[in-house]
Amino acid sequence: MGSEEANAFDAKDAPKIAGELRESFASGKTRSYEWRTSQLKTILKILDNHEQDMILALRSDLSKPEMESYIQEIAMLKNSCKATLKSLKGWMVPEKAKTSMTTFPSSAEIVSEPLGVILIISAWNYPFYLSIDPVIGAIAAGNAVVLKPSEVSPASSALLAKLLKEYMDTSCVRVVEGAVAETAALLQQKWDKICYTGNGRVGRIVMEAAAKHLTPVLLELGGKSPVVVDSDVNLKFATHAVTFYVKVATRRIIAGKWGCNNGQACISPDYIITTKDFAPKLVDSLKEVLEKFYGKNPLESKDLSRIVNSNHFARLMKLLDEEKVSGKVVHGGERNETDLKIAPTILLDVPRDSLIMTEEIFGPLLPIITVEKVEESYDIINSGPKPLAAYLFTSNEKLKKQFVMTISAGGVVVNDTTIHLAVVTLPFGGVGESGMGAYHGKFSFEAFSHKKAVVYRSFVADAAVRYPPYTKGKLSLLKALVGGSILGIIRALFGWS
């Protein structure tokens, strides 16, 4: 923690903060369209006015390259905010619903109402995006919000606390900085929804705390996101097209792995599965493009983030230096502990029971496992926990369909990696161990709203059939109504059996 705001938060203030926000929410202030849009426009203003401050904070926390900071955090947030502002009015309009004979005459609608006070606990790897994007959704849905950024990226956390305090309506939007003790104190309070981004171990702690108050949770977790690279596809192309295909696949794998915070991204490729025949070609291509992108000495490259801290550095070294794995490095492996830098590293044919293949890597190491036939990848992927993302490179239409139908994952991209995150019309979230619930765009609005079912009736047509005394005739009529049989209804009305 590095800011004055951080020092100002004492874990015992948690009930007070929750209470103040609940009071603000109860005043009805956050429900109006005007309040929601004014706060969203304020977020846009923060992003415009403080772009450089954010880039500097990200450099301090992660040595994140400016290009990645701008595109993957600032621009993504601007897009999210603008798209929300553009559609919010429409989302807030109650949705008409059909009614049935049973309630005739009536009308019905689904009203999206804010849940109340939302707690957002975010992670260090995309400290602005993962903090502000759920805040956008919570505000759009008309809630009050407490944001707890990650202490693992202290410069970004301090900047978030400073800027949101300076610009936003602090009676309804608060930032609380802190680590485990502070988060634990927040988790003891009653919230109306908790949105947590991070690992599954803490996800379980969050869910347990939420269960005490029957609070719903949105858990954005991680996992081992596989990339399946098909080789058959080459056969039908001329040689230059094959090379083109491999180059494009290679570039897109590299962009999703090392070009996303040096692999420290939840949807970065975690490992590759390809055929034995194709693996050498893919490795050569990866080596060639990596050198083109990051030079002969990638530890010196300004275009690669560093590892966030020494704990994560040591964790990655443990994966790399495991006895049955260390001999499998076919590219990279260089490290600089002082600067927390690890070069892009490729490993070939690592054992499936190694740490690197059983734990989420979340860093610049990329193992490749090989199979005889690409279809064998389905069993390999489906035998582990469901990943947050799964990627396939192929031009075989049958394989594309099979992959989408067979692999259960938070999201799937065919012939690219990670870009589904940028499609605001798609839900973003995990399944199974990679999380529960989803957000982004309209899905954020829905994640932080309750869909209230409303039926409108008048005082006319008060059918006696639903009231006691219950008779056989009434039962026959109701059965006919429920069954939707016109003939049955006529029979029951005339008392014919």
| Pick 29 or 315: Cβ nearer ligand NAD | 315
* Inter-residue contact 311 to 67 (CB < 8 Å): no
Cα 162 to chain centroid, rounded: 25
Question: Which one of residues 205, 371, 419, 465 is an interface residue with ligand NAD (CB under 6 A)?
Answer: 205
Q: Please identify which residue in 197, 262, 377, 449 interacts with ligand NAD, judged by CB under 6 A.
A: 197
Residues 342 to 381 in contact with ligand NAD, rule: CB under 6 A: 360, 362
Determine which residue in the list 119, 233, 266, 282 makes contact with ligand NAD, applying CB under 6 A.
266
Going residue by residue from 168 to 187, which x/- string records binding to ligand NAD, judged by CB under 6 A?
-----------xx--xx---
243 is written with which tokens? 């090379």
> Which residue is at the shortest CB distance from ligand NAD?
222
Check: CB of residue 403 under 8 Å from CB of residue 392: yes
User: Closer CB to ligand NAD, residue 421 or residue 489?
Assistant: 421
- Rounded distance, CA 119 to CA 217, Å? 10
Shortest distance, position 282 Cβ to ligand NAD, whole Å: 24
**E strand intervals along 151-258:** 173-175, 193-197, 217-220, 226-229
**Which one among 18, 121, 195, 325 touches ligand NAD, defined by CB under 6 A?**
121
DSSP notation for 268-331: S--EEEEETTTHHHHHHHHHHHHHHHH-S-GGG-TTSPPPSSHHHHHHHHHHHH-HHHHTTEEE
Nearest-CA neighbor of 116 among 453, 452, 450, 454?
A: 450
Kindly tell me which of 191 and 245 has the beta carbon lying closer to ligand NAD: 191
Which of residues 126 and 278 has its CB atom nearest to ligand NAD in the complex? 126
Residue 231's SS3 state is: coil
User: Based on CB atoms, which residue is closest to ligand NAD, 279 or 438?
Assistant: 438
Q: x/- binding map, residues 124-163, to ligand NAD, per CB under 6 A? A: xx----x-----------------x-xxx-----------
Angle between helices 239-257 and 279-294 (to 10 degrees): 60
Q: Which residue, 433, 320, 457, 455, is CA-closest to 381?
A: 433
Q: Does 437 bind ligand NAD (CB under 6 A)?
A: no
Q: Is 373 left (phi over 0), alpha (psi -120 to 50) or beta?
A: beta
Position among 222, 226, 427, 437 found at the interface with ligand NAD (CB under 6 A): 222
What are the C-alpha distances in Å from 159 to residues 10, 43, 167, 175, 177? 19, 13, 12, 10, 10
Count interface residues toward ligand NAD (CB under 6 A). 28
Residues 415-434 that bind ligand NAD (CB under 6 A): 430
Taking CB under 6 A as the criterion, the residue among 65, 114, 134, 198 binding ligand NAD is: 198
Dihedral, 344, 349, 353, 356 alpha carbons, nearest 10:
0
Q: Residue 220 catalytic?
A: yes
Report the DSSP beta bridge partners of residue 390.
Answer: 412
In the complex, what is the shortest distance from the CB of residue 150 to ligand NAD, in angstroms, rounded to a whole number?
3
Residue 308 dihedral angles phi and psi, to the nearest 5°: -65, -40
**Which region among 53-61, 117-125, 229-237, 377-385 touches ligand NAD (by CB under 6 A)?**
117-125
Enumerate the β-bridge partners of residue 226: 271
Contact 275, 372 (CB under 8 A): yes
**Least distance from ligand NAD to the Cβ atom of residue 198, Å:** 3
Residue in the structure block whose two tokens are 């305090």: 165
Min dist CB 182 to ligand NAD, Å, is 8
Is 359 a known active-site residue? no
Nearest CB to ligand NAD, comparing residues 40 and 130: 130
- Distance CA(377)–CA(231), nearest Å, equals 13
Residue 360 or 446 with smaller CB distance to ligand NAD:
360
Annotated catalytic residue, options 20, 266, 433, 446? 266
Q: Are the C-beta atoms of 444 and 134 separated by less than 8 Å?
A: yes
Residue ranges binding ligand NAD (CB under 6 A): 121-125, 130, 148, 150-152, 179-180, 183-184, 197-199, 202, 205, 220-222, 266, 360, 362, 388, 430, 435
Which residues are known to be catalytic? 220, 266
